[in-house]
């Protein structure tokens, strides 16, 4: 069975190519009869079953790594104004060159050309664009006959559905889902690279795709999660005992999980743009996934509190991002004092350009900001890539 074979190959990659294997292990696969080989849109790896079944284990591992790297490296963030299909082709050449450089066996009909070895995707794009303009580029001569047109056509189908009504209805939820998945892939890539750095197992050529200095730096998400862990504990208790083996007269301790109780404030003032607001919301959604037992008081505030919602375990985050006025942090702290019996931790997502309370609160405050700022109390966690 192909599924069993893929699982075995993923396990083998984790041993032989730890970085690539860690990414391939979480790859979302989807079978499709509409393509000849395989492709990745940065989120989903689509494949033709007959094609994959004909590949050797080594070549199939290569294909999985190709799809995982497209997802993890977020090349769309670097595309800018370049032609979408040509940029996708250039990044495919760059990824495949790196995989070959690391001793992996490429399958037939892929984009691989030895002259692109060691080159950045941006450089490859410039070469391909120049050749097309000069009518020198012939895809049929590059060992990927019939694949590129298929890849291009179906990539466009993924990005541009025919039904305009479907696009209008699905875009908001699809965009949110895509952003969340990209964030999750980025976190996975960061973690895999950190482990590779610690074990001296970095893939050759990876510096052409990521800034290793930033990876080695302190990860703000880890700082945030460590702070949250101080207020969230899971422990074993004897009473009540675990019910799993009581019928056999065996008493085992049960796992007692305390709720993660948080107050989260989101700055919706005019100085916080839509992109930063979206990033704030994505990070809150990520916390709700990581800590499934939660009770979150969510406040949206500019110069006054614009909305308040309480979210309990399993509920979907739906926030009304109202505001656009001046920035005043005092209403959030006054609301906590007046409305909550107790508060241990406040996460305030903001650019920190506003009026602070004069009174230092008794609870821990984390200011999560896009850049380093001075605050009169609490700690600052700087959002960075």
* Beta-bridge partners for 307: 300
pTM score: 0.49
Q: For the structural domain made of 225-382, what CATH number should be given?
A: 3.40.50.410
Q: What is the pLDDT of residues 50-79, one digit of tens each?
A: 999 999 999 999 999 998 888 777 655 667
To the nearest 10 degrees (0 to 180), the angle between helices 84-101 and 57-72 is: 130
Please report the DSSP string for 58-78 in residue order: HHHHHHHHHHHHHHHTTTHHH
Number of neighbours of residue 156 by Cβ within 10 angstroms? 12
Least confident of 70-79, 277-286, 334-343: 70-79
**Position 221 confidence tier, pLDDT thresholds 50, 70, 90:** low
> Across residues 139-159, what is the average pLDDT?
38
Q: CB within 8 A of 282, min separation 6: which ones?
A: 179, 180, 183
> What pLDDT is stored for residue 60 in this prediction?
94
Q: Of 97-106, 152-161, 267-276, 285-294, give the lowest mean pLDDT range.
A: 152-161
> pLDDT tens for residues 101-119?
999 999 987 889 989 998 9
342 Rama sector, left if φ>0, alpha if ψ -120 to 50, beta otherwise: beta
> Is the pLDDT reported for residue 150 higher than 50?
no
Give domain limits for the chain. 2-202, 225-382
Is residue 23 within 8 Å of 189, Cβ to Cβ?
yes
- Beta partners for residue 301, in sequence order: 267, 305
Strand partners, 305: 301
Tokens, residue 227: 């702070």
pLDDT at 166: 40
Burial class (CB in 10 A: 0-12, 13-18, 19+), 37: buried
Burial class (CB in 10 A: 0-12, 13-18, 19+), 198: exposed
Rounded average pLDDT over 258-270: 82
With contact defined as beta carbons under 8 Å apart, do 351 and 370 qualify?
yes
d(CA 94, CA 324): 43
Rounded CA separation 23/155 (Å): 22
Residue 268 pLDDT level (bands cut at 50, 70, 90): confident
Please, which pLDDT band fits residue 149 given cuts at 50, 70 and 90?
A: very low
Give the number of C-alpha atoms closer than 13 A to the C-alpha of residue 110, restricted to the C-beta side.
28
Share of the chain above pLDDT 90, in %: 19
Contact at 8 Å (CB) between 232 and 265? no
Residue 381 pLDDT exceeds 50? yes
Structural contact between residues 381 and 348, judged by C-beta atoms closer than 8 angstroms: no
Q: What is the structure's pLDDT at 315? A: 78
């Amino acid at each position: 069975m192909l599924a069993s074979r893929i699982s075995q190959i993923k396990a083998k990659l984790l041993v032989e190519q730890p970085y690539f294997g860690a990414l391939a292990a979480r790859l979302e696969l989807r079978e499709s009869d509409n393509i000849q080989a395989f492709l990745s849109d940065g989120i989903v790896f689509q494949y033709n079953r007959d094609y994959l079944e004909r590949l050797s284990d080594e070549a199939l591992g290569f294909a999985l790594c190709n799809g995982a790297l497209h997802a993890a490296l977020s090349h769309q963030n670097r595309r800018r104004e370049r032609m979408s299909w040509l940029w996708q082709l250039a990044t495919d050449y760059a990824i495949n060159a790196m995989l070959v450089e690391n001793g992996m066996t490429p399958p037939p009909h892929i984009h691989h050309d030895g002259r692109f070895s060691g080159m950045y995707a941006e450089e490859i794009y410039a070469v391909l664009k120049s050749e097309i303009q000069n009518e020198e580029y012939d895809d049929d001569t590059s060992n990927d006959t019939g694949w590129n047109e298929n890849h291009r056509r179906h990539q466009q189908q993924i990005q541009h559905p025919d039904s305009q009504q479907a696009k209008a209805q699905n875009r908001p939820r699809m965009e949110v889902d895509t952003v969340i998945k990209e964030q999750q892939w980025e976190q996975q890539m960061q973690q895999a690279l950190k482990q590779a750095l610690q074990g001296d197992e970095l893939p050759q050529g990876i510096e052409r795709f990521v800034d290793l200095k930033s990876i080695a730096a302190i990860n703000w998400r880890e700082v945030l999660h460590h702070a949250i862990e101080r207020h969230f504990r899971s422990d074993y208790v004897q009473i009540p005992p675990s019910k799993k083996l009581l019928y056999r007269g065996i008493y085992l301790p049960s796992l007692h999980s305390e709720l993660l109780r948080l107050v989260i404030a989101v700055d919706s003032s005019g100085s916080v743009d839509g992109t930063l607001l979206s990033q704030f919301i994505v990070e809150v959604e990520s916390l709700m996934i990581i800590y499934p037992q939660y009770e979150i008081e969510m406040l949206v505030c500019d110069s006054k509190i614009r909305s308040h919602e309480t979210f309990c375990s399993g509920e979907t985050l739906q926030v009304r991002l109202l505001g656009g006025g001046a920035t005043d942090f005092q209403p959030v702290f006054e609301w906590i004092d007046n409305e909550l019996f107790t508060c241990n931790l406040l996460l305030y997502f903001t650019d920190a350009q506003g009026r602070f309370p004069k009174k230092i609160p008794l609870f821990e405050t984390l200011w999560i900001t896009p850049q380093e700022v001075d605050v009169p109390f609490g700690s600052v966690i700087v959002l960075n890539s």
